[in-house]
Every structure is written in C-alpha cells, then in structure tokens.
Amino acid sequence: MTAPDTTGGKTPAPSRTGSGERSQEGGETEGGQKTTPLLEVHRRLGATLTSFAGWLMPLRYASETDEHNAVRRAAGLFDLSHMGEISVTGPAAGAALDYALTGHLSTVEPGRARYTMICAADGGVLDDLVAYRLADDEYFVVANAANAGLVYQELTKRAAGHDVAVRDVSLDYALIAIQGPNAAAILSRRTGFPSSASLAELKYYASLRAVIGGTPVLLARTGYTGEDGFELFCPPDHAVSVWNALAEAGAGDGLIPAGLCARDTLRLEAGMPLYGNELSRDITPFEAGLGRVVKFDKPGDFVGREALAARALAGPGSRLIGLIGRSRRIPRHGHRVLLDGQVIGTVTSGAPSPTLGRPIAMAYVRPDAVDAAAAAGTPRAVGAAASARTAAQTAAGAGRLAIDVRGQAEPADYVQLPFYRRAK
Amino acid sequence: MTVPDGLRYTPEHEWVAIDGAIATIGITAYATEALGDIVYVSPPAPGTQVTASEPCGEVESVKSVSEIYSPVDGEVIQVNDGIEDDPAVVNADPYGEGWLFRVRLAADDEAEPSGLLSPDEYAALTQETD
C-alpha cells in the first residue's frame, strides 16, 4: 500500500512533556503547529491527530463512521478551538460590517447571528463567516482557521473611518461544539443562565451568556453538521473543565468525541460548503448557490457590490450540484464530472456517506449542463422504495452522468442539495 | 502496534503468510490505523498475474485511497468475499478475517520470495515513521 494521500493518518511528532512553547502570536505550539487547550484531552482519548490550517487537531478518536453516526443519532463533542474569532465593537460596528461583509448585519437583533461572507472587490469569496450580534454595539465574527488572519486584516482595513474597534480575539477563546439530537438534553443538565433565559428559548442562530460547569461561556445554537446543536465559546483555561462537564453529562446519552473527519462528512451530507473546496477567491457566492447572503437592498456601498451585482445579473459562471455515486468507488476533490463522456465539471468534495450508504459528492458544473445532467442522472431513491417514475427515469438516463474516478467513469445520479435534511 | 510473528511484511504496509506455494496477503494494523475506516477494497480478480512491488488493487477509506502492491509474484487464486460486503472487517481484524487475497507463487520461486521484511524489521520501520 502507498501511504494515505490525505490530510491525516500519520501520527504526529512524538509526545512532549512540559507545557510547550509560546508562538510568536501567542498561544501554544508544538512542532511549529498551533495547539488547542484540549490537546492532552485528545491524546488521552487516543485521538489520531492531523495538521489542519496550521493547527494540530483531532482527525478521529476511533471510528470516524461511528462518530458521524453518533452525531446523527445521539450527540458528538467537537474541539473547534482552531476557528478564528474577531470582535467588532463601537457605535458604528453594524455600519462597518454592512460595508465590510455581504450581509445586512446592522439589522440583526442583539442575541441573533447570521451566516455571511467577506468578499474581495472582484466578488471572490475571502471567507464564509458566522457573525453574532452580542449587543447594539458589539459583534463577534467567527472565521475559518486558515483565513482568520486575512479576515482580521480586511475587517481592520474596511472599518477604517468608522467609529469602531476591531480586535483579533482568537486566543481569548476555545470553541467546543456539541451537536446532535441529544445535544440540548445533555447541555441542559449542566447549563445555568445568569438571567431568566433557558435553553428551550434559545433559537437557531441565536446566542446568549450562560454558565457551564462553573465557567462563563457564550452559548450559541449554531453548527456545521445538519443537526440541532450548540457551540460554546469559553476562556482557554476553562476548556478542559467545560469539555469534561459535557462529556460526563452526555455519557449515558450516546455522546462521544468526534474529530474533523466526521465533521467533514457531516457537513457534506448537509450540503454545507467548505472554504478551500466549494468556496474560494475564484468564485462568488452565486456559484455556490449562496447568493442569498448578498444583500443588495442594504443602504450604502459594500466591498464587492459592483462585481457581485454584475454577477447576479449575468448568472453564475458555474453551478454547485450534488451527485450520488452508483458504484462503491469514492469521488474525490478534483475528479472530473462527465456527461455522455464529455467533461462538464469538477468534484469539490466527495466521501462515502454513512447516512445514505453510498458515495456522495458536490461538484461545480457548467451552468448550461445542469439541466441535461439532472435529466440524465435522476436519483434512485435512497433509503426508500423507488417510485415507478423514478425507476423509469433512472433506466433512461443510466450511465450518461458519471465521475471519472482515476480513469474509470463511475455512474452517478444527480440530486438536489442537501443530501441529508434532519426531521424537524 | 501489533506486528504478529510468523508473517512477512513489506514497506508498503502489507503482510504475507506463506504456506507452501500459497501466499495470503493483507494490510497491517499500522496501515488500517493510518487509513481510518475502510469503506471499499478492490483486490485483484482471481486469475490475475501479479508482480511483486507492482500495484494490483486499491483500498478506499473515508478520507483517502491507497494502492495495493503485490508483495509476491504469482497468480491470484482467491479473494476474500467477506470484505466485499463488510470492508470494516479489515479494520477490525487486519491479520485474520480481514485478509485480502491469495496468490499461488510463481513456480520458479522455490525459495521464500525476496525483499520481504521480518516482524522485527517491519516494527522498526513503523516506529521510524511514527
């Protein structure tokens, strides 16, 4: 066998003793990689660690498939402390973010959050973000680890002239997520609220201050798995106690720790984009099918408005679609999508789907090929009996839509994203 | 990491059990841990002539795909049907139920196939790269 050509697999540099060095930016490092306050917890749990965006992170603890299924059926506990956090405060915080981002952040109610993007002047996506409005004059922006530095720089630049302070507070927070149908029940056992608030009143994409195992946290009902779930921002020094409190509270409810591998297959099933795969500087939100995050009706200019308006008018340069493989070979990032043998696009993410029991992929294809692809590769029913109509369509289109998996065309079916939607 | 005695190994993380003219081939526990959950194995079909150190199949895990290299010269006489239906058995029991395929060694290869590692040599190799 060749060594795995992946983001992970190999165990990292040998364990160290002591508390590690301080990096130049502050924070712990090991072998030149940044480490989270939960590294020793992960090691005790037997995690396979991987390098991700300059961070040493848990890839999986035992079986990534079990971790995935636990999140769909019970709950999973994630360390996401690599994510970047940026605080934007001041009387003009809303106005500054309206200019800097694609969303209309000044209209977000305090306590609520928005999925949004930061684009370059040419409309290219620099990062996708969740922006929490904590108070009238206080926002908390969460960026992908790989882009956190750039997002901070851009926000600082774009906020110039506004009465606002932009601070990179990434090292002030650890981030722990608990995701899955049992997450709320587990969390409620250990969560106290300073006010009269309660977990049941915490809406999706909302946040509030809470106390977990004695630690003050910012508790948000957000996630990246397609399940109900929560993300907890807490001081790094308290990350271990918060993690342990949740692990104990959930032990009888099927809660297990879950790594980045399960996080990736969960978000893929849920049709959520990953920066670097579905999102990049070379595409606008419209290609990704996320044009709704661009709020043209907000007052004033914003970075990228002109280019994005032109793109909205002209239509996307490519379209993100979902594919389900009929064979067992897995489509991977970079594989070509074929229609009647002709290349119509490229796979951005692919994986075996534990929920569907089939390989799934997202791919960018030529806009003019989408209708033909949909007609050629109608999905076979997954997890349910196929209707006669679907069966007939499938027979008619069999084999026309395919993915080139290392030189062999593997038949695939076209599906509307997402692949998985939880029952509400 | 488990490295059973009585087997021979390759630097590509395969194991070989040789019984007379028949070699049984699988991947090591080190390999399965590095790969993670194995979801699909494509061993060479019976009748295929395989050559030592040349690729002859593939193993897919959630995150990666790896080629299988034949550790020996010969003809494939059997594949493990059990892993077709349940590839996870390769993770669960890489040296037992998770074997991949069997080869009848080439007739002129009377001595033990060359280039294979002893358990000690393989254990040393995996510790170096750990």
Residue at B64 is within a domain: yes
Contact A98, A302 (CB under 8 A): yes
Nearest-CA distance A229 → chain B (Å): 24
Please answer yes or no on whether A65 and B13 come within 8 Å at the CB atom: no
Please answer yes or no on whether B63 and A261 come within 8 Å at the CB atom: yes
Chain B residue at shortest CA distance from A353: B62
CATH 3.30.700.30 fits A318-424, yes or no: no
The domain A84-171 belongs to what CATH superfamily?
Answer: Aminomethyltransferase beta-barrel domains (3.30.70.1400)
Alpha-carbon span A275 to B109, nearest angstrom:
53
Mean pLDDT in consecutive groups of 10 residues from the start of chain A, 424 residues? 42 33 62 95 97 97 98 98 98 98 98 98 98 98 98 98 97 98 94 78 94 94 97 98 97 97 98 98 98 97 98 97 96 97 97 97 96 77 46 56 96 95 88
Nearest-CA distance A39 → chain B (Å): 18
Measured between beta carbons, the chain A residues lying within 8 angstroms of B67 are 1-2
CATH 3.40.50.10490 fits A21-78+173-230+237-268, yes or no: no
Please answer yes or no on whether A2 and B67 come within 8 Å at the CB atom: yes
CA distances from A346 to A308, A335, A363, A379, B57 (A): 23, 6, 5, 19, 25
| Residue B29 belongs to domain with CATH number | 2.40.50.100
Could you tell me if residue A315 is left (phi over 0), alpha (psi between -120 and 50 degrees) or otherwise beta? left
Please answer yes or no on whether A64 and B40 come within 8 Å at the CB atom: no
Which are the contacts of A153, defined by CB distance < 8 A and separation ≥ 6? none
Q: What is the pLDDT of residues B35-46, one digit of tens each?
A: 999 999 999 999
In this structure, the dihedral spanned by the alpha carbons of residues A385, A386, A389 and A391, taken in order and rounded to 10 degrees, is -140
A332 to chain B, any CB pair closer than 8 A? The answer is: yes
A5 to chain B, any CB pair closer than 8 A? The answer is: yes
Chain A residue at shortest CA distance from B40: A328
Measured between beta carbons, the chain A residues lying within 8 angstroms of B27 are 1
Three-state DSSP at B81 gives coil
In 10 A of CB A408, how many CB atoms?
10
Find residues 45-104 of chain B whose CB sits inside 8 Å of chain A.
59-69, 88, 91
Residue at B39 is within a domain: yes
Alpha-carbon span B44 to B59, nearest angstrom:
11
Q: Whose CA is closest to A281, among A179, A151, A191, A92?
A: A151
Assess: ipTM above 0.95. Answer: no
**Which regions of chain B are under pLDDT 50?**
none
What is the residue range of B95's domain? Answer: 8-107
Given the DSSP bridges, would you call strands A401-405 and A408-415 parallel, antiparallel or unpaired? antiparallel
Domain ranges of chain A: 21-78+173-230+237-268, 84-171, 318-424
Residue A374 CA to chain centroid, in angstroms? Answer: 26
Residue ranges of the alpha helices (H) in B4-67?
Answer: 29-35
Please answer yes or no on whether A330 and B39 come within 8 Å at the CB atom: yes
